[in-house]
Structure 1
Amino acid sequence: MRNLIREKGFEYLIYALLISLFFSKAIPNIILAVLSVWTIIDFKKDQIIKTKFNFSSGIILLILLVFLTIKSTLFATISYDFKIFKGLFLLFWLVVVFKKVKDFNTLKLVILLGIDAAILCSVFLITLFFIKHHTLPFSNTAEVNELLLLERPYIGFIAVLGLLLASERSITLVKYKYLWAINALLLFLFIVLISARISIITLFLLAVVYLIFYSKISWVKKGVSLVSFVLLFGLLVLTNKNISERFFVKSNLEESLKVASDYEPRIVIWNCAYLMTQKSDFNSIIGFDGYKTISNNFLDCYSSTIENPSKKEYFLTEKFNSHNQFIDFYLIGGFIGLLLFLTFFIKLLIEVRANFFQMAIVISFLLFFCVENIFYRQFGCYLVGIFILILLQRKINEEN
């Protein structure tokens, strides 16, 4: 009885952590500290051998972390770099702490409910704004993030993850299947409402992947459906004013490119990332000596390449990072770092290829890594660690 209470208490704390993750930065850390102490106290000597990362893709990510840590130590930049590396350490520690979880259906349900709650709070704030101003500022304005519980890319991303979890429940569960289907539909409408570009692109690509590789209809029907998807995507982009502005749709290509170069920070950022790889102190095999050098190079590039004074001041104040995890690992780890990170994703895709929803989660993270440095944020590291557990649920259940 005591053991049952201890196990349930541990799982309830994990559920509390998951719910609080979408609303607070401090509370998840406090709960994780309690869970960590609990894990260490309950850790038995005979578990030392059993507790391991028994999936090959995880081993690759661990090798990447070890490589970067050793490199930073040798270059004496570890004190600065650890501020970023600690996110990766957190990811692996989450796998250890959450290893006691046996009920993955409840785990996924709690995550979905947490996502739904975050979306509902955002919808409430949006509604208040609309009642007061009679407009929705979801094109390219600074007001957007004030109306959302998380920054637009991140809340759009968790909406995609929630949509996948809800869709899976609507297909695999008999009870309340229509309720979960409605949940998935509402999350899709929220993504369209806030004009989350990467999320819209992700859902479109996931639909294409499902159609080509998982749908059992004839190739003729697949072709017709694919054309329909493309037309619907184009129609959505062209007819929705906020979305068309988010995709910089103008009267001609030249004007669209000009607007994109003026308002899309990543065009400037990625160009600066390329320029710094041409510097003499960049080693294409192992990258720069540390993140401090990379940060200074970005600031120097913004200062020298941006002509508009207000835009330059904005970039220098925000101190934008590479906004691409692949570019980030290339800058800090060269070809070795980039190759290890790519290998991690390729191996993970191979491991989950039989299940569409698991494959969709991996593809969603892959695309989001293309526009954000998830490992720079504690929230992002929590998400990666938690969803890796979901991807590995079958293997963990087999061991238990």
Structure 2
Amino acid sequence: MRILLSAIYPYAFLLLYLIIPFDEYFRAPPNILLAILLVAFPFVVKKEDLKKLKSLPIAIFLGFFAYLCLNSFFSGRWDGDFNVIKKVLIAVGLAILYIPVADVKKINSAIIFSSLAAIIFSVYNFVLITDATGSFALGDSPQVIESLLIDRLYLGLLSTFSILISFQAIQKKYHPNNNYYLANIFVNALFIILIASKIAVVSLFILLLIRQFYGQRKIWKLVIAVLALAAVVGLFLIIKNERSIQFNQESHKSPPAFIEKSMTYELRAVVWKCAQNIINEEGFSLTGMGFDTTKEKLVSCYETQISNPTKKEKFVSERYNTHNQFLDFYLSAGFIALLLFLVFIVASVFSTRKQFLPTAMLAILIMYCLVENLFNRQIGAYYVGFILIVLMTTAKPAENNSIKKI
């Protein structure tokens, strides 16, 4: 029985990450696979597998999770906070459930094929919608938004993972698989540009900048670093100017396709202003006010601070969260939670700084946490779990033979 479960277990884990983007269409399979992994785990895990958990970043993240649970329980907010705490549990749980898997190549392959499947699905939908409407538009057009398998932000995150994994897998000497990895990088990069995922584009340029600090120091690397930095600054200026373009949408001139009809900057500007107002009103908070209470206070702020009736109704009905994981942890669980989360990131950076892959993953985590509450969505928890797996396997490369040092 144990031999059979040990043979099935890695493929169940692979299948879970393969179908994650299809969660909204098939809600049962991911939960079924998680249940299978939970049941099989005690039978397939070995004593030596537990060595993979001997990692300072993982230990700190476990402490962070324990604090969230204790803080919520003793503050009497368990029912209101459980939805977010559950997502944090999924992330750390996936890292623990991974340890019987002997080769990280399996999950890396799942990420690559999952991204390609999501792209194919989205392109197919786009063709159908284009044929039905008789019009063609890319960028932030409604056609693109409606055709995407999952939210653009998470689809961009998945494509970024796929690009990073493919880049890491390319061998310096000629190998037939290099062609496939290069093709995958091209397809995912092109897709990110076509769907105008701004945070994914910024992330890729920042990763390109970080990559120049690894390997041999050469003049051309300095040139690439300067160009990547210039590109990032330029993209931030475009995003900053997005708000002024939105306020002039009544003019006859159409804004660029890259930012046409996009509400992302304005949404976050309003939400972050309300979050700042709440911080000013509440003062310093050691243990926070709870995740539900934070959202209620944000909704109250929308009702009083937004003058446009249509916009106010939109913000109130959607109950927009802070769109910044750091702000959300501070407001909801207090300074201690934010400090623990930051300590986890800093400790991870110091323990993995000599290797590009985990450093790049941490950079992605930071960038996405600045613009999104990853733990408010189950798909976000799944991908944070993947980042934890990369950190864990990097700390113990001997037990995970596909992580290579650069």
TM bin (shorter chain): 0.7 to 0.9
Q: Is the 8 A contact 1:39 1:97 kept in 2?
A: yes
C-alpha deviation, 1:287, in angstroms: 2.2
Aligned to 1:248: 242
**Equivalent residues, number:** 385
Cα drift, residue 327 of structure 1? 0.5
CA distance 1:134–1:231, shift in 2 (3 Å): farther
Match of 1:241 in 2: none
Tell me, yes or no, if structure 1 residue 272 matches structure 2 residue 274.
yes
The 2-side partners of 1:8 and 1:303 are apart by 55
Aligned residue number for residue 167 of structure 1:
167
Of 20, 31, 36, 1:29 maps to: 31
Question: Could you say which residue in structure 2 is the equivalent of 1:308?
Answer: 308
Q: CA deviation at 1:95?
A: 2.0
1:279 aligned counterpart, secondary structure: helix
Q: CA RMSD in A?
A: 3.2
SS at match of 2:383: helix
Normalised by the size of structure 1, how large is the TM-score?
0.86
2:374/2:380 contact within 8 Å kept: yes
Cα distance in 2, alignment partners of residues 246 and 283 from structure 1: 29
Pairing 1:122–2:134 present: no
Q: Which stretch shifts more, 82-91 or 141-150?
A: 141-150
Q: Structure 2 vs 1, CA of residues 51 and 85 (structure 1 numbering), >3 Å: closer, same or farther? A: farther
**Separation in structure 2 between the aligned mates of residue 215 and residue 121 of structure 1, nearest angstrom:** 37
* 1:222-371 equivalence runs, <5 A: 222-229=221-228, 248=242, 264-280=266-282, 282-288=283-289, 290-371=290-371
1:206 Cα deviation from its structure 2 partner: 1.2
Deviation per CA, 1:371-394, whole angstroms, max 9, x where unpaired?
111111111111111232133224
Q: Would the aligned equivalents of 1:272 and 1:302 in 2 still touch at CA under 8 Å?
A: yes
Cα displacement (A) at 1:48: 11
1:203-226 CA deviation, whole Å, 9 max, x = no partner?
A: 111111222x125344x5444334
Is the partner of 1:156 in helix, strand or coil?
A: helix
Kindly provide the amino acid, as one letter, of the partner of residue 4 in structure 2: I
Distance in 2, Cα, partners of 1:26 & 1:34: 12
Following superposition, the deviation at residue 357 of structure 1 comes to: 2.2
For residues 68 and 146 of structure 2, the distance between their equivalents in structure 1, rounded to whole angstroms, comes to 36
2:8 matched residue in structure 1: 9
Deviation of 1:292 after TM superposition, in Å, equals 2.4
Unpaired runs of 5+ residues, structure 1, are 239-243
SS of 1:171's partner is coil
Residues 349 and 359, structure 1, Cα contact 8 Å, conserved in 2: yes
Q: Residue 176 and residue 48 in structure 1: after superposition, are their counterparts in 2 closer, same or farther (change >3 A)?
A: closer
Match of 1:19 in 2: 18
Task: Work out the percentage of aligned pairs sharing the same amino acid.
Answer: 29
Secondary structure of residue in 2 paired with 1:287:
coil
Tell me the equivalent position of 2:258: none
Check conservation: 1:330, 1:338, Cα contact below 8 A: yes
Matched, 1:62 2:62: yes
1:31-58 per-position Cα deviation (integer Å, ceiling 9, x unaligned): 11011111235568xx599478321112
Deviation (angstroms), 1:149:
0.4
CA–CA distance in structure 1, aligned partners of residues 387 and 33 of structure 2: 18
CA distance in 2, matches of 1:339, 1:121: 40
Per the alignment, in what secondary structure is the counterpart of residue 214 of structure 1? coil
Report deviation, 1:302.
0.3
2:211 corresponds in structure 1 to 210
Gaps of 5+ in 2: 250-254, 256-260, 401-406
The superposition leaves residues 314-359 of structure 1 with CA deviations (integer Å, 9 ceiling, x where unpaired) of 0001001111111111112322221111111111112222221221
Deviations 1:175-216 (A, max 9, x none): 3102211210111111110110101111111111222x1253
When residues 302 and 354 of structure 1 are mapped into structure 2, their CA distance, relative to the original with a 3 A threshold, is same
Q: Give the drift of 1:273.
A: 0.6
Deviates more, 1:302-311 or 1:228-237: 228-237
After superposition, the C-alpha distances for 1:140-187 in whole angstroms (9 at most, x for unaligned) are: x55543210011111011111111011112236823102211210111
- TM-score between both structures, scaled by the size of structure 2: 0.85
User: CA separation of 1:27/1:172 partners in 2, compared to 1, >3 Å: closer, same or farther?
Assistant: farther
